[in-house]
Structure 1
Amino acid sequence: MSSETLIYIILAGIIALLLALFQYKYKAKGASKKNALFAFFRFLSIFGVLLLLINPKFEQVNVYNEKPNLVVAIDNSNSIKYFNQEENVTSVVKRIKEDKTLKDKFNIDVFSFGNTLNASDSLSFTEHQTNIDKAFKELGQVYKRTVSPTIIISDGNQTYGNDYEYAANKYNQPIYPIVVGDTTRYSDLKLKQLNVNKYAFLKNKFPIEAILVYNGDENVSTKFVVTSGKNTVYSRNLSFSENDNSKILNFTLPANSVGVKSYRASLIPIATEKNKVNNSKNFAVEVVDEKTKVAIVSSVLHPDLGMLKKSIETNEQREVVFLKPQETIGQLNDLQLVVLFDPNNSFKSLFDALKLQNKNKFVIAGPKTDFNFLNSVSEYYQHDITSQTEDYQPVLNVNYSSFIVDDLDFESFPPLLANFGEPTFSVPFESILYKKVGSINTEEPLLATFEINERREAVLFGENLWKWRAQSFINTDGFNAFDNFTGKLIQYLASNKRKNRLNLDYQSFYQGSSNIIVSAQFFNKNYEFDANESLNITVTDKVSKTSKTIPFILKNNNYQVDLSTLPASDYAFTVKATSENISKSGNFKILEYNIEQQFLNANVSKLKTIASQSNGSSYFIDNYESLIKELTNDERYKPIQKSSKNIVPLIDWKYLLALIALTLAIEWFMRKYNGLI
């Protein structure tokens, strides 16, 4: 309480006293015991009212002790089961959770991780990927400003993500790895990596790169073989030694027929080899008969141009060429789509040719666009003509129906620079993205598509798309999400297929270690997204002839089903709507590959490194009891005394109001009783 407030309270007491004496001594012309009692109650009531007007604030300080956290992160991947350590890991976790000394000293928080971090101690050891890097990053956000020594129970082998040693360096908590798995070194041949394109083109040859590694002291000879079914399509004899312990093979295979072609690459095991699973990998290539050729036409230079080429060409089925407007006219027959960037008068002949050949196009109109010209050549939309520019952020239209659009967290994307004004359409259209100005959402299209006369068009009112791709990389640690969005838009525009009420999004083949997600959209007769439909997928194994039916779940603006539990095989499937006689069928292949079984030993050296760099210690699972003793005796982990200060204004104190009411009531009843009222 400040000294100024204290002075006000003293003055309030004096004023209340003077008013009470004035009422019951000066005006009453004398003093009596009754008047003194009346004056006392009047003093209390006036003083209470004045205190409420002053409203002094009081500080309440609570002092408490906060125990440090003990974070236990458990590797829940399939590699723990492969090393036959699931029972040992489960017993260690139970022992740590139930240890009385640890519970007295720490708040114990248990997490499990595979590809993601989960706040749960439920262990199944069935995760197909291990991402230790992501686990450290997410734990670092949760325990940023705390004392939280961390036990990580793992074999240290990561199958996905960045090198976790760097994430561990930024974690700022002592790390105590408990090493799980075999630490004995065996002679081992390993097919470490196989690089192959997802697509190949008919009558061409597609390249393959194989990286082969040998761990051992002796000289060994083996053979590298690639088979397709029972046929050997490539083979090569190899020799390894302690010094010559890695080889890179580059070769090509022919693409003779259309469809998904499956192959198996193998290193013939040596006699003393213990882990033979990592000697082989299955891979597949989809052979296609044609390539989509996209022309980006522009008379200006802009970073969006290079970004579009990079994003579109992430799908090997697509080729992008840069052309000037006049150059494009003679090549229209070879093009499936034309992207017109900032069109102006020099595009006049090209627009006429596109109209004559009824070609699909994608117009990107930014501040450098000549809107007088664009309005004159565009039959189906117009844009207000103004020299002002505006920054527009995107907002996803979740009811967009032409193809499945995933939410990339568009509202986190930087705004696009565009001309101020509203576009108007004279034909039915759909907005993929709406404009957002500041905090105001509008229903004006930022990116829209429409179909007319068996032709598809899209128009984007803004530039600086390269910032979107960069932001997507920040959000997801990769370009895949944004490139998939671009790819779906290009695929839609490059095709003239009739619109369907049931659309599916799936791949022709999946690696056995990846998530297998099939997405679907269902539309009513007006082609509006129907979120009330029930969709089921019936999957049939072509080899075993077994079938199973699984319902889709509604997620955002599409339906999804997770088929990751299916074993490796060839599958046919049918998706059906329950309320209408609408269905769609397809095929996909799951390649046999368990990345968690590719490791022979625990990565002891890396786990020891992150322990020493973080001022922690590493232990093997056989002597984890020593870790409990170390944590119990470590003087760094003591309870921290903290205090919380709560400032409470007097006006919130209800008892003062009750006291004022009580004193006034007592005074009134006493005066009434004595006949003074």
Structure 2
Amino acid sequence: METTTLLYIILSGIIALGIALFQYKYRAKSKSIRLVSVFAFLRFISVFGILLLLVNPKFDKIKYYTEKPELILAVDNTNSIKHLGQDAQAKDLVTALTTNSALNSKFQVTSYVFGNAISAMDSLTFDLKETNINKALSQISEIHTSIAPTVIITDGNQTFGTDYQFAANDLKQPIYPVILGDTVVHTDLKIQQLNANKYAYLKNRFPVEVILVYTGNSNVNSELKVYKGNALVYTEKVAFSKASNSKIVNFTLPASRIGTNVYRASLTALQTEKNKINNTKNFAIEVIDQKTKIAIVSDIVHPDIGALKKSIETNEQRSVSVLNTSEAIAKIDDFQLFILNQPNIKFKGLFEKLQELKKNYLQIIGTKTDLNFVNGISSNFTHENLQQTEEYQADFNLNYSPFQIENIDFESFPPLNANYGSITFNSGFQNILTKRIGSVSTQEPLLSTLEINNRREAVLFGENIWKWRAQSFLNTKSFNEFDNFIGKLIQYLATAKQRSRLNVDYESFYVGNSNVIVNAQIFDKNYVFDNRENLTITLTNTLTKESLELPLVLKTNNFQADLSNLKAGEYNFTVKANSANISKSGSFTILEYNVEEQFLNANVTKLQQLATNSGGNSYFIDNTSRLVNDLINDERFVSVQKSNKNIIPLIDWKILLAIIALSLSVEWFLRKYNGLI
């Protein structure tokens, strides 16, 4: 308590005593010393209490409590646990740990389940399709920042994500894996991996690579068979031994039917095999009748050319040729799309031929472009020629409607070099990207598309797009996002189809039923994205004829249906915009594949390494009593006594108010009783 407050309290006591003595010592009507003393005391209490409330001194209240260390329990809730026959033992262990009185006495137990990510434990179903142990451990570390032992009950078989055995380097918690699964090495044959192209071309042969793995000590023989439906299309005998325990089989198959062709590769199982599911793997090929041929026409050498060629050809349905203007004119009928890189006067004949034949093309207008020539040859736009250059970054247009496209974090991409000056379009156009200088959005076109008389055109007003592809890789560790963006632009330009108000984006086939997503966009009559529309998808299994209708959920600038719960099979679907009465149909195939059922044993080595790296210990499911003893006896995990200091003002002390009220009431009653009022 401060000295000033203490002086105020003393002064309050003196004032209260003075008032009480003045009123009852010098002005008292009663001569009874005893009665005067009682009245003076009661008045002193009342006045002193009121003055104390005015001074309102503050007192420190310290509360001591004991905080237990946390114990994290994380259980693998994926299908592999059930497949290995460990689901019942896992449930029994969870019950034993959560109800153990000694553990609960020492620890504050928090339970989670995980597959692709962690969630609070509600029930154990062992039906999740993906395992990411590294992500689960990272999320636990983010939630629980103090040192807390983490018991992870799993088979250690991770289906995707960063290798978890090195996760301990970034974690504070010691990890105690409880290993589920059989550690005995069984004889097993399996298809470890199957590689095939996604697309093939009609009447061509496409390559298939199958990696076969054998686990065992004796010499065995088997046979690899590939079926298309019920028809056997390829067979090869294979032999394995302890020393020669893997084979790579390469062969080709004919692409004889347009559309999605589903195949089944099967390795004849041994009689002693415990897991025969991993002997079979389905795959599919989409057969198309021809490639889309694209010509990049340029009279200069520029890194954009190589970047665009690489990006476009990631889709095997497309091939790119780099030509000069004279070669392009001579082969103009061989290509469906032309990319004109920084045109100049040499492009005059090519422009005239393209416009005559109504060919679609993409122009790249850069610092080496002859703007006077472009302004003279093009009737669709005019670019002011100020003989200056500028660096522009990109802003994504969420309302772009001609085709479905996503923002791939364009705002983070480095600026493009471009000509400075305003751009005026003479025909209807839409911007995919607009220019931005620093933090200032100019709304000037950077990448635009036009549709004129059944002909499509796009213009990129900048060069060095190769830097965008590099930045996209730095952002995502993959070129896929940028290549998909370029692919959609090329697909739009390479087709002569009229713009549709309803666009549906989906894959022709999905491997397994994880991440089966159908996206759709609906536009009003002005081709502005309509987020008020109600979209539904109706699915029909072509074999069972079962139908299902689901709503599509709005996701920023598109609608989405997650169909990951569908069973494997072929499906026809129709997406319908109910208010606009527009629909679009298609079909896709879900190949039967469950990665969680490909494992035969627990991954003991990685789990033991994880425990060692983190300062924990590993245990097998049959020896978990030692886990409880180790946790209880580990001196690193102790309860901590903590204090909580609260500053409480006297005005919150209700007892003082009661004392003041009581003293005033008693004083009034005694004075009334003695006839002094």
> Offset of 1:386 from its aligned partner?
3.6
Partner of 2:13: none
Question: 1:95 and 1:302 mapped to 2: Cα distance?
Answer: 67
* 1:265 alignment partner AA: A
Partner of 1:76: 77
Equivalent residue runs for 1:251-650 within 5 Å: 251-638=251-638
Partner of 2:194: 194
> Offset of 1:503 from its aligned partner?
1.2
Question: 1:628 and 1:98 mapped to 2: Cα distance?
Answer: 12
Equivalent residue runs for 1:93-108 within 5 Å: 93-97=94-98, 99=100, 102=103, 108=109
The one-character-per-residue Cα deviations of 1:309-367 (angstroms, maximum 9, x if unpaired) are: 22212211111222223322222211111222333333333323322222111122333
Given the superposition, is the C-alpha separation of residues 148 and 414 from structure 1 closer, same or farther in structure 2, using an over 3 Å criterion?
A: farther
Return the index of the structure with the highest Cα Rg. Answer: 2
Stretch moving more, 384-393 or 318-327: 384-393
> Offset of 1:173 from its aligned partner?
3.9
Partner of 1:213: 213
* 2:278 alignment partner AA: N
Question: 2:411 and 2:62 mapped to 1: Cα distance?
Answer: 42
Partner of 2:115: 114
> Offset of 1:282 from its aligned partner?
0.9
* 2:304 alignment partner AA: D
Q: Which runs of 5+ in 1 are unaligned?
A: 1-8, 11-47, 49-59, 649-653, 656-677
Partner of 2:133: 132
SS at 1:610's partner residue?
helix
> Offset of 1:600 from its aligned partner?
0.7
Given the superposition, is the C-alpha separation of residues 171 and 462 from structure 1 closer, same or farther in structure 2, using an over 3 Å criterion?
A: farther
Question: 1:115 and 1:471 mapped to 2: Cα distance?
Answer: 27
Given the superposition, is the C-alpha separation of residues 212 and 260 from structure 1 closer, same or farther in structure 2, using an over 3 Å criterion?
A: same
* 1:346 alignment partner AA: K
TM-score with structure 1 length normalisation? 0.81
Residue 218 of structure 2 is aligned to residue 230 of structure 1: no
Question: 1:620 and 1:609 mapped to 2: Cα distance?
Answer: 14
Indicate conservation of the 8 Å contact 1:169/1:610, yes or no: no
* Number of aligned residues: 597
Stretch moving more, 199-208 or 132-141: 132-141
Given the superposition, is the C-alpha separation of residues 74 and 368 from structure 1 closer, same or farther in structure 2, using an over 3 Å criterion?
A: farther
SS at 1:270's partner residue?
coil
Question: 1:507 and 1:627 mapped to 2: Cα distance?
Answer: 48
Q: CA RMSD in A?
A: 3.3
> Offset of 1:550 from its aligned partner?
0.8
SS at 1:385's partner residue?
coil
Question: 2:76 and 2:555 mapped to 1: Cα distance?
Answer: 28
The one-character-per-residue Cα deviations of 1:525-573 (angstroms, maximum 9, x if unpaired) are: 2222111111111111111111111111111111111111111111111
Indicate conservation of the 8 Å contact 2:205/2:252, yes or no: yes
* 1:92 alignment partner AA: L
The one-character-per-residue Cα deviations of 1:276-315 (angstroms, maximum 9, x if unpaired) are: 0000011111111010112223333443332222221221
Given the superposition, is the C-alpha separation of residues 235 and 69 from structure 1 closer, same or farther in structure 2, using an over 3 Å criterion?
A: same
Indicate conservation of the 8 Å contact 2:513/2:568, yes or no: no
* 1:548 alignment partner AA: L
Question: 2:94 and 2:423 mapped to 1: Cα distance?
Answer: 61
Indicate conservation of the 8 Å contact 1:513/1:595, yes or no: no
Indicate conservation of the 8 Å contact 1:153/1:179, yes or no: yes
Partner of 2:87: 86
Given the superposition, is the C-alpha separation of residues 329 and 170 from structure 1 closer, same or farther in structure 2, using an over 3 Å criterion?
A: farther
> Offset of 1:136 from its aligned partner?
4.2
Question: 1:161 and 1:198 mapped to 2: Cα distance?
Answer: 23
Stretch moving more, 156-165 or 185-194: 156-165
Question: 1:139 and 1:561 mapped to 2: Cα distance?
Answer: 30
Question: 2:498 and 2:481 mapped to 1: Cα distance?
Answer: 26
Given the superposition, is the C-alpha separation of residues 222 and 351 from structure 1 closer, same or farther in structure 2, using an over 3 Å criterion?
A: same
Given the superposition, is the C-alpha separation of residues 126 and 434 from structure 1 closer, same or farther in structure 2, using an over 3 Å criterion?
A: farther
> Offset of 1:586 from its aligned partner?
1.3
Stretch moving more, 85-94 or 150-159: 85-94
* 1:124 alignment partner AA: T
Question: 2:215 and 2:166 mapped to 1: Cα distance?
Answer: 26
* 1:360 alignment partner AA: N
> Offset of 1:442 from its aligned partner?
3.9
Given the superposition, is the C-alpha separation of residues 157 and 591 from structure 1 closer, same or farther in structure 2, using an over 3 Å criterion?
A: same
* 1:507 alignment partner AA: E
Question: 2:373 and 2:109 mapped to 1: Cα distance?
Answer: 68
* 2:86 alignment partner AA: Q
Given the superposition, is the C-alpha separation of residues 451 and 104 from structure 1 closer, same or farther in structure 2, using an over 3 Å criterion?
A: farther
Question: 2:351 and 2:523 mapped to 1: Cα distance?
Answer: 33
Given the superposition, is the C-alpha separation of residues 234 and 555 from structure 1 closer, same or farther in structure 2, using an over 3 Å criterion?
A: same
> Offset of 1:498 from its aligned partner?
1.0
Percent identity over the alignment?
54
Question: 2:121 and 2:474 mapped to 1: Cα distance?
Answer: 27
Question: 2:100 and 2:460 mapped to 1: Cα distance?
Answer: 62
* 1:79 alignment partner AA: S
SS at 2:632's partner residue?
helix
* 1:73 alignment partner AA: A
Question: 2:442 and 2:62 mapped to 1: Cα distance?
Answer: 49
Stretch moving more, 302-311 or 113-122: 113-122
Partner of 1:659: none
> Offset of 1:507 from its aligned partner?
1.4
TM-score with structure 2 length normalisation? 0.81
* 1:572 alignment partner AA: N
SS at 1:165's partner residue?
helix
Indicate conservation of the 8 Å contact 1:390/1:418, yes or no: yes
* 2:430 alignment partner AA: E
Question: 1:518 and 1:292 mapped to 2: Cα distance?
Answer: 25
* 1:282 alignment partner AA: N
* 2:614 alignment partner AA: S
The one-character-per-residue Cα deviations of 1:204-255 (angstroms, maximum 9, x if unpaired) are: 0000000000000111111110011221110011111111110000000011
SS at 1:446's partner residue?
strand
Indicate conservation of the 8 Å contact 1:522/1:533, yes or no: yes
Indicate conservation of the 8 Å contact 2:220/2:240, yes or no: yes
> Offset of 1:384 from its aligned partner?
3.1
Question: 1:259 and 1:545 mapped to 2: Cα distance?
Answer: 21
* 1:236 alignment partner AA: E
* 2:402 alignment partner AA: S
Given the superposition, is the C-alpha separation of residues 85 and 465 from structure 1 closer, same or farther in structure 2, using an over 3 Å criterion?
A: farther
Question: 1:643 and 1:449 mapped to 2: Cα distance?
Answer: 67
Question: 1:87 and 1:162 mapped to 2: Cα distance?
Answer: 29
Indicate conservation of the 8 Å contact 2:147/2:172, yes or no: no
> Offset of 1:69 from its aligned partner?
4.8
Given the superposition, is the C-alpha separation of residues 470 and 630 from structure 1 closer, same or farther in structure 2, using an over 3 Å criterion?
A: farther
